[in-house]
């Protein structure tokens, strides 16, 4: 597999507008991630940690304040022509707002198909193929339906059908199943796995939900983001089986589990503060130190860098070696 998308030491400071008018507000600071062809990377963290901003930067929809965004080795903000085009597709949580309410299913798919060179006499056949591929069945029944006729799951399938028309190398999905009934979430994640497996589309899967991240990116990687920085990353199973950063451990200990026996015995990691500090003025040193139960004096002064603890499992914490062994129960 070769590198498809690379964000290299990316920073994003919003200098005016809705976040802050005078001093810049750091949304992302020094983030580097890479996605190979056909790979899945889950990007997880609390709301407001900067993961949506990072997704928009990956797509070329936002220009970072500093750092580089490389697509197939080319800096998308330096190359002329092709370089300035978005490099992938975006699917976000609200499928209703992503679709034009006055366009039928057929119109929603036939317009982009036409733009991408499908002749008029083949449009109906191609639309039906797409609908079948994403599991909107039987296709004939849905051709003349409007978005409001469809369930949340069906609408999200339609959005995915439209997103694959340009044959993207990768798709950024921002909480794609959070507005869908719990009973249908797995089927949408399975559809995404199908797009990854059969069309070799890479995914940047943005979520706050570690359970869906684990299901979807089981064979891929995960990066944990906290207040605009990556604090832990590596292969999904390795990271979630042996979490090293106190923030990830706290997230895992707080995540609901279906087994009541395990839920009762689970050790909850108590944070010093429940709410994260303001993203506008992140604390000095380790950004997690005001909440971290293992913080020492140095944590408030020196920022830890990401260090490799084997096989690409990288963690930004001064005290990884002295933390207690991880146990969920």
Residues interacting with ligand SF4, by CB under 6 A? 245-246, 286, 288-289, 292, 294-295, 299, 304, 317-319
- Please list the residues that pair with 10 across neighbouring strands: 31
Task: Tell the smallest beta-carbon distance from residue 225 to ligand SF4 (Å).
Answer: 14
Q: Is 60 left (phi over 0), alpha (psi -120 to 50) or beta?
A: left
- At closest approach, how far in Å is the CB of 302 from ligand SF4? 8
From the CB of 206, what's the least distance to ligand SF4, in Å? 22
* Minimum CB–partner distance for residue 322 and ligand SF4 (Å): 9
What is the nearest approach in angstroms of ligand SF4 to the Cβ of residue 298? 7
- Choose between 221 and 245: whose C-beta lies nearer to ligand SF4: 245
Q: Is 236 or 295 the residue whose CB approaches ligand SF4 more closely?
A: 295
| Between 44 and 171, CB nearer to ligand SF4 | 44
Nearer CB in complex with ligand SF4: 195/299 = 299
- Would you say 193 or 323 has its CB closer to ligand SF4? 323
Among residues 28 and 286, whose Cβ is nearest to ligand SF4? 286
Sign (positive or negative) of CA dihedral 86, 215, 258, 288: negative
Chain CA centroid to CA 188, Å: 15
**How many Cα atoms sit within 13 Å of 117 on the Cβ side?**
2
Query: What letter does residue 78 receive in the DSSP assignment?
Result: T
Residue 231 CB, nearest approach to ligand SF4 (Å):
7
User: Which of these, 253, 288, 289, lies nearest to 270 by C-alpha position?
Assistant: 253
Question: Which pair of tokens denotes residue 6?
Answer: 């690379």
199 versus 254: smaller Cβ distance to ligand SF4: 254
Per DSSP, the residues of 94-143 read -HHHHS-TTS-HHHHHHHHHHHTT--GGGHHHHHHHHHHHTT--SHHHHT
- Residue 288 and residue 26: Cα distance in Å, rounded? 15
The span from the CA of 70 to the CA of 78, in Å, is 10
Quick one: how many helices (H) and strands (E) in the chain? 11, 12
Minimum Å gap between C-beta 230 and ligand SF4 is 13
């Amino acid at each position: 597999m070769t590198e498809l998308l690379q964000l290299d030491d990316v920073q994003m400071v919003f200098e005016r507008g809705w976040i802050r008018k005078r001093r810049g507000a750091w949304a992302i600071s020094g983030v580097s991630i890479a996605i190979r062809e056909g790979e899945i990377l889950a990007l997880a963290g609390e709301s407001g940690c900067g993961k949506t901003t990072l997704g928009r930067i990956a797509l070329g929809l936002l220009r970072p304040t500093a750092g580089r965004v490389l697509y197939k080795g080319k800096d998308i903000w330096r190359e002329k022509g092709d370089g300035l085009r978005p490099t992938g597709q975006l699917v976000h949580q609200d499928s209703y707002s992503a679709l034009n309410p006055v366009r039928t299913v057929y119109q929603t798919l036939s317009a982009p198909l036409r733009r991408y060179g499908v002749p008029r006499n083949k449009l109906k056949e191609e639309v039906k193929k797409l609908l079948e591929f994403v599991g909107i069945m039987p296709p004939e029944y849905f051709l003349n339906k409007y978005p409001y006729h469809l369930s949340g799951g069906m609408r999200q399938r339609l959005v995915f059908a439209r997103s694959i028309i340009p044959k993207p190398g990768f798709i950024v999905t921002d909480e794609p199943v959070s507005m869908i009934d719990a009973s249908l979430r797995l089927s949408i994640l399975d559809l995404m796995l199908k797009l990854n497996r059969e069309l070799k589309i890479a995914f940047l899967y943005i979520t706050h939900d570690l359970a869906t991240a684990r299901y979807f990116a089981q064979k891929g990687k995960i990066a944990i983001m906290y207040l605009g920085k990556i604090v832990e990353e590596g292969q999904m199973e390795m990271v979630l089986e042996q979490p090293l950063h106190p923030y990830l451990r706290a997230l895992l200990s707080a995540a609901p589990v279906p087994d009541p026996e395990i839920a009762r015995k689970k050790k909850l990691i108590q944070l010093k503060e429940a709410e994260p500090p303001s993203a506008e003025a992140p604390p000095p040193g380790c950004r997690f130190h005001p909440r971290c139960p293992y913080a020492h004096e140095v944590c408030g002064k020196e920022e830890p860098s990401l260090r490799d603890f084997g096989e690409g499992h990288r963690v930004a914490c001064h005290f990884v070696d002295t933390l207690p062994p991880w146990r969920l129960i």
